[in-house]
Amino acid sequence: YGDGPWLGASPNAVNFTVYYETEKFNARISASQRDEYFTTYPLASGNCDPGLQANGSPCDGPLINETGGSKETLNVDMSMRYSPTKNVAITFEAQNLTDQKSERYAYTNPVVSTYSASGVNFKLGLRYKY
């Protein structure tokens, strides 16, 4: 067996958060970046490539000679809270400000195997303590 990448581990991943807090107000913005990574990696050769062979017959051999992985991602989130009194708090949250999609692929000649998108999410809240 040859050297291969660590499955599920990105070569580079960075997280960064900035906070600001006072007695009545706080804010946070966070960013998280992750490089592309492998979820499967060829350890041995199968007996043919997926799809049809040159003679037109289907390939029904093992697919152990193929790769799979996930594309690079960048997520940015933020939140704020304002408390005008001891009893009242107004909150605002925004998630996935970069509108990041999750895209997983399979095979050496990549084909999208999973694609998901949550979109940008906003939440507004009011809290009252009595």
- List pLDDT tens digits, range 17-59: 999 999 999 999 999 999 998 887 765 555 555 556 667 676 6
- Rounded Cα distance, 80 and 25, in Å: 7
Task: Report if residue 80 sits inside a domain.
Answer: yes
In a domain, 34, yes or no: yes
Give domain status of residue 50, yes or no: no
Report, as an integer, the average pLDDT of 99-107: 85
Q: Give the total number of structural domains in the chain.
A: 1
Decide if pLDDT at 127 tops 70.
yes
Please tell me the pTM assigned to this model: 0.69
Residues with Cβ < 8 Å from 106, sequence gap 6 or more?
Answer: 40, 66, 67, 68, 113
Mean confidence (pLDDT) of the chain:
84
Could you list the residue range(s) of the whole structural domain that residue 116 is in? 13-45+61-128
pLDDT in tens, 17-28: 999 999 999 999
**DSSP string for 30-59:** EEEEE--EEEE--SS--SS-SSB-TTSPBP
> 111 in a domain, yes or no?
yes
